[in-house]
């Protein structure tokens, strides 16, 4: 067995990946595991400094038709709708899908990022306060990096789901310019 502890630290994973690389050589996958772990570490340390500011201003706006369409996978944007259906059905989403779903809610649907973060918190089986709220702040451009870093979700869909297989798997409704009524 590789580790004695039930709970792994990022340092243990880092060292194990480095050991693996020494034996088998550096590859794209080993590079990315370390790279992404650094993001996780970053959000955890940032959250300790943010304190309650991590969650944004106190008063939350109410729900909206755009928000409900997003939650239910009925925005009319198949790549996003598939992600939201996968999230609601399984409690999990890839990092790529999380980034696109968050960006779409904030940039295209103009919904307050905190409501999106709460929905993710409600759905995710791997919910983690620092990673979830830190990533949402980052996508919304209200974190430590104030740059607006939204995605062009049409381009992302063309690149990551060129034949629409992901959208079809989750039976996301076909592309429409107007969000359906929830
Ligand atoms: C809006 C949003 C919300 C998120 N909410 C959570 C959450 O609640 N809990 C959670 O664990 N992760 C969260 N993430 C980070 C990331 O999406 C998941 O950790 C990742 O999907 C897990 O898949 P994986 O193990 O295949 O990751 P891989 O791509 O294989 O990466 C390896 C490891 O690096 C870490 N990691 C990867 N990407 C990130 C990232 N962007 N931020 C922080 N850590 C990362 C994870 O520990 C992951 O297991 C969120 C990302 C976004 C954009």
Q: Which atom of ligand 1 is nearest to the CA of 36?
A: 34
**Judgement on whether residues 51 and 73 belong to the same structural domain of the protein:** no
Which of 78, 71, 104 lies closest to 160 in space, CA to CA? Answer: 78
Query: How much is the pLDDT for 8?
Result: 87
Domain with 83, as residue range(s), is 65-169
Higher pLDDT, 33 or 181: 33
**DSSP secondary structure of 102-118:** HHIIIIIS---HHHHHH
Residue nearest (by alpha carbon) to ligand 1 atom 50? 132
**Judgement on whether residues 141 and 110 belong to the same structural domain of the protein:** yes
pLDDT single digits (tens) 100-123? 999 999 999 999 999 999 999 999
Residue nearest (by alpha carbon) to ligand 1 atom 4? 132
**Judgement on whether residues 159 and 77 belong to the same structural domain of the protein:** yes
pLDDT single digits (tens) 48-87? 999 999 998 877 877 899 999 999 999 999 999 999 999 9
**Judgement on whether residues 47 and 99 belong to the same structural domain of the protein:** no
Distance from the CA of 99 to the center of ligand 1, in angstroms? 10
**Judgement on whether residues 86 and 159 belong to the same structural domain of the protein:** yes
Ligand 1 pocket member 40 (CB < 6 A)? yes
**Judgement on whether residues 97 and 156 belong to the same structural domain of the protein:** yes
* pTM for this prediction: 0.90
**Judgement on whether residues 79 and 124 belong to the same structural domain of the protein:** yes
Query: How much is the pLDDT for 175?
Result: 67
In 10 A of CB 153, how many CB atoms? 21
**Judgement on whether residues 93 and 138 belong to the same structural domain of the protein:** yes
**What is the domain count for the chain?**
2
**Judgement on whether residues 139 and 76 belong to the same structural domain of the protein:** yes
Token pair in block for residue 1: 């067995």
Ligand 1 pocket mutation pick from 28, 37, 40, 100 by most atoms within 8 angstroms of CB: 40
**Judgement on whether residues 81 and 128 belong to the same structural domain of the protein:** yes
**Judgement on whether residues 123 and 157 belong to the same structural domain of the protein:** yes
Q: Which atom of ligand 1 is nearest to the CA of 94?
A: 21
Whether the CA torsion 62, 86, 76, 96 is positive or negative: it is positive
Distances from the Cα of 158 to the Cα of 153, 163, 166, angstroms: 8, 8, 11
**Judgement on whether residues 108 and 150 belong to the same structural domain of the protein:** yes
């Amino acid at each position: 067995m590789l580790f004695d502890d039930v709970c792994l630290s990022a340092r243990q994973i880092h060292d194990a990946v480095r050991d693996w690389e020494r034996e088998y050589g550096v590859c794209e996958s080993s590079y990315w595991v370390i790279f992404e772990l650094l993001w996780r570490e970053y959000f955890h340390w940032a959250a300790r400094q943010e304190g309650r500011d991590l969650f944004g201003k106190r008063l939350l706006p109410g729900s909206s038709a755009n928000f409900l369409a997003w939650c239910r996978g009925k925005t009319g944007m198949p790549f996003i709708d598939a992600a939201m259906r996968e999230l609601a059905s399984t409690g999990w989403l890839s990092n790529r899908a999380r980034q696109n779903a968050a960006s779409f809610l904030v940039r295209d649907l103009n919904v307050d990022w905190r409501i999106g973060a709460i929905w993710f918190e409600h759905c995710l089986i791997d919910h983690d306060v620092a990673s979830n709220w830190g990533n949402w702040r980052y996508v919304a451009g209200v974190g430590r990096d104030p740059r607006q870093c939204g995605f062009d979700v049409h381009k992302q869909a063309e690149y990551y789901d060129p034949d629409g297989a992901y959208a079809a798997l989750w039976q996301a409704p076909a592309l429409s310019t107007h969000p359906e009524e929830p």
